[in-house]
Amino acid sequence: MHEMAIMQNILEIINTQIKEYNLKKISNVKIVAGELTGVVPEIMEFCWQVCTENTPCAGAKLEIEKLPARALCRECSHEYDFLEKLSCPRCGGGIKKVLSGKELYVNFIEGE
Ligand SMILES: [Zn+2]
């Protein structure tokens, strides 16, 4: 499962923080995931519960912020959501640059 592998990476990051700040219990975790990562929040939620059992993260609230897939038009510099339209809705031009959607990172960890 795609999400399971992602979750393992996320937990590694969290565990590093737990050690660094000597945390005993995590209460909140926020993850930012772009639409292009294909991450399904419901599945992430499930993986979170499975992977954090008997860890300092058990019972912590997982928040997932989805970032839209945005692109910059190479013809008119218009910014648009390109999951719906592959070419610029304003002029029909192609993509110059993907602005967002590929992000996947831990935004913050709260605990004590
Ligand atoms: Zn355009």
Q: Is residue 79 situated within a structural domain?
A: no
Q: Which one is predicted more confidently, 85 or 13?
A: 13
* CA 85 – ligand 1 centroid, Å: 11
Residue 18 domain boundaries: 2-68+100-111
pTM given for the model: 0.84
Q: Is residue 7 situated within a structural domain?
A: yes
CATH (domain of 39): 3.30.2320.50
Amino acid 89: pLDDT: 94
Q: Is residue 77 situated within a structural domain?
A: no
* CA 3 – ligand 1 centroid, Å: 34
* CA 65 – ligand 1 centroid, Å: 28
Examine the pLDDT at 45 and tell me if it is beyond 70.
yes
| pLDDT average, residue stretch 100-110 | 95
Examine the pLDDT at 1 and tell me if it is beyond 80.
no
**DSSP sequence for the chain:** -HHHHHHHHHHHHHHHHHHHHT-S-EEEEEEEEEGGGT--HHHHHHHHHHHHTTSTTTT-EEEEEEE--EEEETTT--EEETTT-SS-TTT---EEEEEES--EEEEEEEE-
